[in-house]
Structure 1
Amino acid sequence: MRERYEFEGKRFLVLGLAKSGYAAADLLHSLGADVVVNDSSPETGSKEVTALREKGITVICGGHPENILDKGFDTIVKNPGIPYHNPVLKQAVQKGIPIWTEVELSYLISEAPIIAITGSNGKTTTTTLLYHILNIGGKQPLIAGNIGTVACTVAQNAKPDEVIVMEVSSFQLAGTESFRPKIAVWTNLYDAHLDYHGTSEEYALAKAKVTDNQTEEDFFIYNADQHEMLPYIERSAAMKIPFSLQGKKAEGISADDEMIYWQGEPFVKRSIIKLLGQHNLENILAATASAILMDCDKETIENVLSSFTGVRHRMQFVKELKGRTFYNDSKATNTLATKSALSSFQSPVVLIAGGLDRGHSFEELRPYMGRVKAVLALGETAERLVDFAATCGVPLAVKVRSMEEAVQEAYGVSVEGDQILLSPACASWDQYPNFEERGDAFIEAVIKL
């Protein structure tokens, strides 16, 4: 861990406990800071609260006291999920108190270089694929961030000859000031989380922080096919590495129907790639460019691309049963992700979709509904999905009550050669705590068949 003496004696408020709050509080305390933790949830015998108090850290649970900032904090480290309209954070902004997330801490203490990957979609697939390539290539990667492992916990144990592959969300990036990855990757930009950020511009600015502090000694890999990203890309001082699916390009990494090109030269044949979908090809280009910049050899990259079949809950192949192929894409919590999933198939698709009703339109799916032979609709949006499928001319669209019923019905209406796809186009919270449990329910139902 890099020695950072400026934490000693400083007063930090850690707002929100969870995994990241606990890790940040523990780290800051070990670095000599005076730490107070405040969480809105009731204490209810939390082991984390007990552990922090045993270290001498003050923990306040059950709400955010209006006068908590009167204690004179130098910095706030907040849980990424806490929005900036939180009263404590609004007061902090008025008082000029810096507001970080633990991703900022991870950069400040890490001895290892960081590869930071963000984007509206594709972050986890790109992060996981790159980690596998670097691991097989002997580059001693560590994986961290929004993918499930708290970044500052990984960073405090990272060594200079290792590299941290870090998935970073807009929530995490919004709370950074000096964060400077050696390689930054921005996969794409679509409107998302506007209830948190307020506007499309604020959301994009949060994403752009992945490269804001980079210099000409760093690398910035970005989606050159999205012109709406250009104003933010142009601000970066890093060496720019574009990726594109629009045929061979002289710069960066690109692809046509047959080949992946690096700086305009043939690099890998697309025929070896196992991961389905045009959207995943973007992820492959971003990960491959990062691996090349990390001096991974071509043979290693080819070996991984020819064997990597995806991330759990993201176009995950589950099994083949009597000629039907089952895919778990539970991570598809919006229509954009489901559109990408449907575009991966030509053969008939039996689609299981639906979930939390946020009132968004399904119109983005219309151009791809011609390949859907049946829709089994779940959750709050079930009725709207059935009506939408009917306007698209889908032969069969019905509501179902559970995932098990959906899978059984899907199998019953399918024939050999069909694809049975869970790609909900909605969040899971009406029926499941998270998309992972929804995907696991799908897998369990498929296994029961």
Structure 2
Amino acid sequence: MNTPLPRPTFSVRQQFRSILGGSIGNLIEWYDWYAYSVFSLYFASAFFPKDNETAQLLNTAGIFAIGFLMRPIGGWLMGRYADRYGRKSALTFSVLLMSAGSLLIALVPGYDRIGLLAPLILVVARMIQGISIGGEYGTAATYLSEMAPRHLRGFYSSFQYVTTTMGQLVALGILMILQRYALTSEQLSEWGWRIPFGIGAILSLSAIYLRRGLVETQSFAQETTRLEQRGSLKELVKYAPELRLVIGFTIGLTVSYYTFTTYMQKFLVNTAGFSKNDATTIMVVTLIVFMLAQPILGLLGDKIGRKRLMILYGILAVLTTYPILTLLSHTQDRWMATLLIILAMLILSMSTSISAIIKAELFPVHVRSLGVSFPYALAVALFGGTAEYIALLFKDRGHADWFYWYLTACIALSLWVSLRMRDTEKHSTMDR
């Protein structure tokens, strides 16, 4: 029989410290993950022949996608571990893996010194990071959701994307400092791109210290399910409809997210014709707005209902995605480009701000971290991780606008799923 869980016994101060500790660790993890994409414009030539810039970007985007393909494995391993032995332990282990991947990228010699071995080592490093980030997202999302008061779950879980975006902003900030005050473009391409990966390795180690002070969630501490059932795929498949829901509404979110937050920097340079410096500045401004919008829309989701907010996102995104990308591809005005990307990101925020809590509310505690991690990581690997590659491939074939339709179709699928899904706020497993 399902019985209501007692109210959390953690003080407000304990909750705040745990959310802060978990979020800072998440920030550092995502900084390491995004440093690859942010600096790929500079290190692409270090790992591949230097005859075609688009081909170099295609190769680095392909390795970016390989890292994503490891995320379901990370989601399975870390989700299983978190459901069996605790959210805190899994979060600490994921940081160790990320640190190892960043250090490997920082130290690997270039193509001109070791030939094909260079991109192969880069692939291994991204595979390690993919396993790490695959477990990080689901476990951190579960942790934030379980630590939150019932009436503020959307607000608390929105910090998942606040810190994710802050990680990208830190990576972009380091790029801007190196671009404008420390190194020339030639120095960045030759050796300066290694600096952010070295910083990431050091920061990841500091995150281990921060996460040692986390408080385990009460939901996990009170769980009485037998150990062999916790985090079990056999148990998880009993929730097949919920798994399909997570995959369905993640498809549109993840393709849109990686289009406007990750690929967009290259889009501005390679398609719209902006300089690398201008593209970096535009991305910093738009990501700050995106980050600040998360808790506001998380609160809105708590007020009007998460399902309503997801449907609103789907409708607006389907109507505006193609026009926004078309205008961006033709504009040479920095302010116009900035405003267009901000519009797209504000619409996207309606989904990202509440995505963590929607997934967490679908699954019972003994498979919650696995249920959040694995299907989400699978959808991100297949659709989010390949978004940049598909966009560049269409452009290379002379049909850049085909990607705009592809993105719109993915969002339409997620809208259809949102219309059909039950309201998780009213039927939450976290209240049982």
Whose relative contact order is higher, 1 or 2, with alpha carbons under 8 Å and at least 6 apart? 2
Larger helix fraction of residues: 2
Normalised to the residue count of structure 1, the TM-score between the two structures is 0.25
- Taking structure 2 as the reference length, the TM-score comes to 0.26
Flag the structure with larger Rg: 1
